[in-house]
Structure 1
Amino acid sequence: MDMRNLVINYHLTERCNYSCEFCFAKYGLEEKFNTELHRNVDSVKLMLEDVFRYFRKSFKSIRLNFAGGEPLLVANLIDIVDIAFYIGYEVSIITNGSLLKASLISNLFQKISMVGISIDSFNSETNHKIGRYTKNKPNNNIRQFIEELNKLPCKLKINTVVNRHNWQEDMSISINELNPDRWKIFKVLPIQPNTIGITDEQYQYFIETHYKKVGTLVFAENNDDMRESYIMIDPLGRFYQNSENDKGYIYSERILEQGTEKAFEQIVFDKIKFNQRYISL
């Protein structure tokens, strides 16, 4: 591998307080939450140390991006972030933002270099259709907490999944007001059952609607751009990738059982696609 910087996405949990139908993080663990690795901090530490030793041989820096499900639901999150930070990882996190609070911003995010927040719409009705709500209430405090995050040295990224409910929405005014360092726009993956898929033309319409209006870096990722271009670890501590038909995942054996090198050989990683996604970072 010839890249200087690596990003690894560690999906800590499948649990989420939202119910977005299109969510990328569908692992089939519904009845196995108690086996998720984050419940044993010592095991997480051993895995992250082994992953770091393996990839550090080839990369100048390694960013560990905590994702889910919703990572802020993980009780041990602060301890795990501390472990990753002291091992030597640059640390980032992606969250739906609904559980952000002042105490987290003042403590947890001091060690985080980038906070990614998933925002698929600024319309309450649209968010409700997508499933982005808790107890029938949309998250109305996201702007307030983004303003607080902007006071910290960490970068802000916004992720948007374009789907049947939001592909005609113009989000440019609100995105410009929030002024993220990056805005990543994904086309919804055709995970089955999926009733909110869109055509390539609809996805392109959304991109063209915003590309010239938004004064920030816009990164668009179609389905093929995402396939095999991410290094991902699932809640059980396995490397995994989207299958060729995007209807499931391919998993390695557990990293703690096989070691990082052998487990990583069991999935496909396209370094050219990876470089194309992160070339502007």
Structure 2
Amino acid sequence: MSSIFFFYRDSLQLILCKALLKLVCTVVGVSHPAQISFSCVLLQDLKREYEIWLNIQAGLAVVARSERRRILEGPYSERAHIEGGKSLSDQAIISLLRDLSLHYLLVVGVLTIFIIAYQQVFNEFTKESNIPVSVNYFPSRKCNYTCGFCFHTDTSSYVLPIDEAKRGLRLLKEAGMRKLNIAGGEPFLYPRLLTELLQYGKEELDMESISIVSNGSKITEKWMRENCQWLDILAISCVSFDPETNKKIGRGDDGGNVIRLFRIANWCREYGIKFKLNTVVNVHNWNEDMSAEIEKLAPFRWKVFQCLLVAGENEDASRLRDARTFLVTDEQWKTFCNRHKHLPCYVPEDTNAMASSYLLLDEYMCFLDKGEGMITKSESILKVGVQKAMGQVVWDKGSFLDRGGIYDWGRSDMMQGSGCSGGSNEKLQW
């Protein structure tokens, strides 16, 4: 019976040591926003350890009561010699129960620290969640393509006056924005607006990173040469390397998408801009093998999205786009992913990863919530400020971190030989 006591006692001490270690890790972990999710996992694990401790404490009490009864009711010789000569006297039982009391006090202390640490993590997470680290701004919905799966359709021709747009960017910067991504619509339908936003963001606001997402059809070398000093990343949407597939999807009729894509990749290398690709996996391209072309283009990052339905934008025939016919099954999505997962630049995002993990700002500078159900929007940050507007939509900071929302987004991170090819600076061939 003594072996049972010693087993319980040693188990209890081990759990307490692990608990204290995890608390130390937790307190260290919350010092960086990227570690918040990890810290929360440790705290949940600690809770489970405490539940195990409660079970052990209950077991110890039952065994102690049973052993004491057996010893007091049995012969003296049995009290003196138990289990191979190990003595377990009344004094030993009392000592064990005293240890239990000390352990109980220790666990109470541990739980107090646990509660404080948990509250600290919660407060830090809430605080960090109100910081718009990375914002996707759509200055216009206008586009010259008609992609059938588009989730931000051409429902408005409004473009904010440049002074108001700059004021909004300053508000975002003051609220903690580090990266600005300009998308659309097609941003290059307004090249002068782009130039003003880039220059203001870099020279006046000292933005850490500014990127643009474009279909590539309106980009010129002249614009790249004149604006390269303010642009960190240029992302081009590429859904297929087959001209016929591009036509089916609605990405132009001239068949020149692929040629332009390679030309833009060369310009990015020539002018020191990080080149990125975005691909939406849909019913027309899920079975295409893009590996060879991606390796030639060598983007530093290739974002691969699963075709997404957004209520209020593309969910049925009443909208400008009906993306239902473009959706892929989970098996088709997995097939595409498995075919390309060997590429080092490959970054997949399924529909679950996208939901509420992006901070979206429309042409009126209202935050959009495209997570679940009908799309909702906040009041404009120009009227109510950034914090109040953010509080009116759902932004899942945990999902943002989990999908790799913070990455090497600055030009200073550029390294020769990076990207999918790990290759050279030689001109790309097409």
1:88 corresponds in structure 2 to 206
Matches of 1:271 and 1:117, distance apart in 2: 26
Q: Shift of the alpha carbon at 1:80?
A: 1.5
Change (3 A) 1:19 1:171: same
Q: Which one has the bigger strand percentage?
A: 1
Instruction: Name the residue aligned to 2:252.
Output: 133
Q: Distance in 1 between matches of 2:387 and 2:296?
A: 44
Higher mean C-alpha displacement, 190-199 vs 228-237: 190-199
2:281 is aligned with 1:173: no
Structure 1 residues 220-244: Cα deviation after superposition (integer angstroms, max 9, x where no partner): 0001100110111011110112140
Q: Distance in 1 between matches of 2:179 and 2:150?
A: 23
Aligned partner of 1:231: which letter?
L
Q: Which residue is 2:301 aligned to?
A: 182
Partner in structure 2 of residue 14 of structure 1? 141
- Deviation, 1:280, is 5.0
Provide the secondary structure at the position in 1 that maps to 2:326: coil
**CA contact 1:239–1:267 (8 Å) conserved in 2:** yes
Match of 1:78 in 2: 195
Q: Contact conserved, 2:232 with 2:274, CA < 8 A, in 1?
A: yes
1:103 to 201, 219, 222: 222
* TM-score computed with the length of structure 1 as normaliser: 0.89
Q: Secondary structure at the match of 2:175?
A: helix
Does residue 24 of the first structure (1) align with residue 151 of the second (2)? yes
State how far apart, in whole Å, the 1-side matches of 2:227 and 2:249 are: 29
4+ long deviations beyond 6 Å: none
Q: Are 1:264 and 2:385 an aligned pair?
A: no
Count, aligned residues: 265
Structure 2 SS opposite 1:126: helix
Which of 255, 265, 270 matches 1:146? 265
- Of the structure 1 ranges 254-263 and 75-84, higher mean CA displacement relative to structure 2 is found in 75-84
- The corresponding residue for 2:236 is 117
Alignment of 1:246-257 (within 5 A): 248-257=374-383
- Provide structure 1 residue ranges, at least 5 long, that are not aligned to the other structure: 57-61
Higher helix share: 2
1:18, distance to aligned residue in structure 2 (A): 0.6
Amino acid in the other structure paired with 1:47: G
**Which whole-Å CA distance do the structure 1 matches of 2:159 and 2:349 have between them?**
29
| Partners of 2:369 and 2:394 within 8 A in 1 | yes
Deviates more, 1:142-151 or 1:181-190: 142-151
After TM superposition, the score normalised by the length of structure 2 is 0.59
2:23 aligned residue: none
2: CA distance between counterparts of 1:154 and 1:259?
A: 32
1:171-226 deviation line (CA, Å, top 9, x unaligned)? 000000000001110000023122111111101100001112x3x32110001100
Q: Distance between the aligned counterparts of 1:257 and 1:99, measured in 2?
A: 33
Q: Which amino acid aligns with 1:70?
A: E
- Give the gaps of 5 or more residues in structure 2: 1-31, 35-127, 316-321, 409-430
2:339 to 206, 209, 234: 209
